[in-house]
Amino acid sequence: MTEETGQVLEQLRSALLEDAEAAASISQLLLENASQSEAAAPWRRDLSRIRQSALRLYRAVRQRLHAPHGTASPKAIGERLHRVRHDIRGILGNVLNRCQLVTLEADGLDEELRADLDRIRDHARRCVDHLDQHREVTRDETPAETPAPIAARRSPAASPTAPLICLPATDITGASILVADDNPTSRELLGRFLKRHGHDVAFAADGREALDLLHARDFDLVLLDVIMPRADGFEVLASMRETGKLAHTPVIVISGMDSGPNVVRCIEMGAEDFLPRPIDMALLKARVCSCLERQRLREREFAQFFTPELARQLVRRPEILTGGRSMEVSVLFCDIVGFSRISERLGAIDTLRWLSDVLDALAACVMDEGGVLVNYVGDQIMAMWGAPEAQPDHADRACRTAIAMMKVLPQFDRRWQSAIGARTEASIGINSGEAFVGNVGTPRKFQYGALGNMVNLASRVQSATKYVRAPVLMTHHTHARLKIRPPHRRLGKFRVNNIEEPVGLFELAASPPADWLTLRRAYERALDCFEKHQLGKASSLLGNLLVKNPSDGPSLLLMSRVAASLFADETTFDPVWTFSAK
Amino acid sequence: MAKILIADDDDDMVEICSRLLSRKGHELLVARNAEAAVRTATTEHPDLILMDMRMPAADAGKVSDRAGLDATTRLKADPSTANIPVIALTGHTMHKWKEAVLAAGCAELLDKPIVDFSILLGAIDRNMKRKGAE
């Protein structure tokens, strides 16, 4: 026996002694009073048994429940304590039950005797509480005779021989838990306990109410009583299985009022675990924590690709992910410029370090705007908005992300410019529209993303940035869906590789210069002229523009096209630009 | 009104239960060991059994912690007694034990001491109702 166990045993002993002594004293008074009462005559034998039992209780605690002297083996100590505990419980039963029986049978008993009986019962009840609270000391230390229980295999964490090991290092809090139990005391008890541990608790007093709540909200965990009015636990489990909720909202069945077969049936129906009644709070805590821990692990897997909030939802409702469907989305491709050149210079290890630095920061921009990181390989990021949950402002989110990405890049120059011999730059293409959204990987390798022409176009638009000489481009599809338009300009119509239909491209200005509006107006006027084949006017507008902004890429490019068109035949003039390379 | 078998070797417990249950109009049968419990259940077909887990296995036998558990397993294996609900009474507070008791087929498990009769009476009522519903 450890010193600590010895101390706990000593605490238990003194607590029990106090109440046993009180019960013994009151029973003595009771017996004296009863000897003078005619009404109490038929129950004198009971009262004297109560007195004897109270004395036996006191003696058993005083003489037998103590830390051993000398060097007894742990097994012998365990067996002795087991016997003492069993005897004490038996004696307490006799006291409690006889007191209640007399109260029940003896209608005409006078008030003073009744009050004494109640006081004795109270002390005996407190003794039971002491025993329950200190069960780790008086539990069987040699469970040689106990057969292997069915649930011990299922949750070794909950084994009472090691009640604390199972608790995760940090307690999980903040989970939303549904307590479905028709017993109000039990609801109150569970609610108080779970709230004290920082969880958000909802209650259902019957199965119907539980189903309604499950329908209306998502929970991280359900504590489910089996026997309830209006739809029992089985019905709740069956409905949860039918709606697919069960697969990802763990259910702990509260049993004890129910037979073993019921528990087995619940587990077969998909319940995660069970909790015997009367509910032991340490066990409850352990089971709740282990359920939530498993949940959190799944969320962490999802969190690689989704925002934490979304990951949490997806764990609860994975059906959102598995079925493919057509949705309105915005897709963003971001490519780090000069990756192969830089990797040649830096070597593999430093390239990876630089790249993961940069990609991490860019991915954070996606998460900040509630996007899904579809792909995250090599020097490219693909992100998506508008799925799995509809986001009416998906185009705005994509554009804000692009701007944030461009703004985050300069910070890498301080750290990396001297090593890589260049600035860290990226190019971005954005497109919006209907796409097939779902698992675009294989059944073996899950990848949540989007498929369709609009995705291909977004990728082509990203490639087009180097021809158009603007680092961030969006299509007219995205432009048309913007609710708030950040600084941008129309760059004209383009035909990108392998896509016949011309697409209108717009430049997004991440860091617009002070005279942006003037630049934009002048450029767009020149573009209008060019598209109407008013080449002279276009070239004179562009000339003025380039005097003020000599390095403006789109203006230079438009100037070169105006010049080329001046020499060409008017009949072959096409205002749509065609890129030949991908 | 039901026929209830109490299997317990504790005289006080038997006396208290018989007084309490006869007040409620039930008929009480008594078995003082596991062997007698199985025999009485098989011949008398009680409506319900209150089974102490710790009692002698047989007459004049040594007290065993799992005699009641073994008796329950035997009753559940016999089709003629399998559907008699068994309410287990135990002073064991170990969860391993409780799980084993439930797994053996006990309908319910009550901690000893029974702190209040309502616990016992509630368990009896519940199981009689459930049995009646079947």
CB atoms within 10 A of CB A69: 6
Scanning B76-115 for CB atoms below 8 A from A yields: 85, 91-109, 111-115
Taking residues A227-249, report their average pLDDT.
83
Closest Cα of chain A to B18: distance in Å?
11
Enter the CATH code of domain A323-510: 3.30.70.1230
B chain contacts of residue A94, beta-carbon cutoff 8 Å: 12-13, 16, 113
- Residue A202 token pair: 């909802």
Bridging pattern class, strands A472-475 and A503-508: antiparallel
CB of A482 within 8 Å of a chain B CB? The answer is no
Of A28-42, A190-204, A549-563, the poorest mean pLDDT is in: A28-42
Q: What is the phi/psi pair of residue B31, to 5°?
A: -130, 135
Q: pLDDT band at residue A384, thresholds of 50, 70 and 90?
A: very high
**What DSSP line would sit under A468-536, residue for residue?**
HT-SEEEEHHHHHH-SSPPSEEEEEEEE-TT--S-EEEEEE-SS--TTHHHHHHHHHHHHHHHHTT-HH
B chain contacts of residue A86, beta-carbon cutoff 8 Å: 54, 91
A chain contacts of residue B106, beta-carbon cutoff 8 Å: 259-260
Confidence check: pLDDT of A357 > 90: no
Nearest to B66, CA basis, from A161, A90, A145, A215:
A145
In which residue are the tokens 């096409």 written? A574
Confidence check: pLDDT of A500 > 60: yes
Q: Report percent pLDDT > 90 for chain A.
A: 22
**Of A140, A227, A278, Cβ closest to residue B94:** A140
List the single residue in A with minimal CA-CA distance to B18.
Answer: A101
Confidence check: pLDDT of A328 > 90: yes
Contact by Cβ (8 Å): A314, A306: yes
Residue ranges in chain B modelled with pLDDT below 50: none
pLDDT number for residue B73 = 93
Domain ranges within chain A, ordered by starting residue: 3-144, 171-302, 323-510, 513-582
CA distance B53 to B70: 9
CA distance A539 to A533: 11
Which amino acid appears at position A500 of this protein?
A: E
In which residue are the tokens 């993303």 written? A449
pLDDT number for residue A14 = 83
Enter the CATH code of domain A3-144: 1.20.120
Tens digit of each residue's pLDDT (9 = 90 or more) over A394-419: 999 999 999 999 999 988 888 888 88
**Of A85, A86, A260, Cβ closest to residue B103:** A260
With CB atoms and an 8 Å threshold, state whether A276 touches B99: yes
pLDDT number for residue A333 = 95
Hey, is A330 helix, strand or coil? Answer: strand
Scanning B1-60 for CB atoms below 8 A from A yields: 10, 12-13, 16, 19-20, 23, 54
Taking residues A343-354, report their average pLDDT.
80
Tens digit of each residue's pLDDT (9 = 90 or more) over A251-291: 998 875 445 677 778 888 888 888 776 566 667 777 888 77
Which overall architecture, per CATH, does domain A171-302 show?
A: 3-Layer(aba) Sandwich (3.40)
With CB atoms and an 8 Å threshold, state whether A85 touches B91: yes
CA distance A117 to A103: 7
**Of B69, B93, B99, Cβ closest to residue A152:** B99
CB of A261 within 8 Å of a chain B CB? The answer is yes
pLDDT number for residue B21 = 92
Taking residues A185-197, report their average pLDDT.
76
Closest Cα of chain A to B71: distance in Å?
14
With CB atoms and an 8 Å threshold, state whether B107 touches A255: no
pLDDT number for residue A154 = 33
With CB atoms and an 8 Å threshold, state whether A101 touches B102: no
Side-chain-side CA neighbours of A299 within 13 Å: the count stands at 17
CB of B63 within 8 Å of a chain A CB? The answer is no
Q: pLDDT band at residue A320, thresholds of 50, 70 and 90?
A: low
With CB atoms and an 8 Å threshold, state whether A150 touches B106: no
Scanning A202-241 for CB atoms below 8 A from B yields: 227
A chain contacts of residue B54, beta-carbon cutoff 8 Å: 86
Q: Under CATH, domain B31-133 is a member of which superfamily?
A: Response regulator (3.40.50.2300)
Burial A298-329 (b: 16+ CB within 10 A, else e): bbeebbebbbeebbbbbbbbeebbeeeeebbb
Radius of gyration of chain A from its Cα atoms, rounded to whole angstroms: 38
Which amino acid appears at position A299 of this protein?
A: E
In which residue are the tokens 């985050």 written? A408
Contact by Cβ (8 Å): B124, B48: yes
Q: What is the DSSP secondary structure assignment for residue A551, as one 8-state letter?
A: T
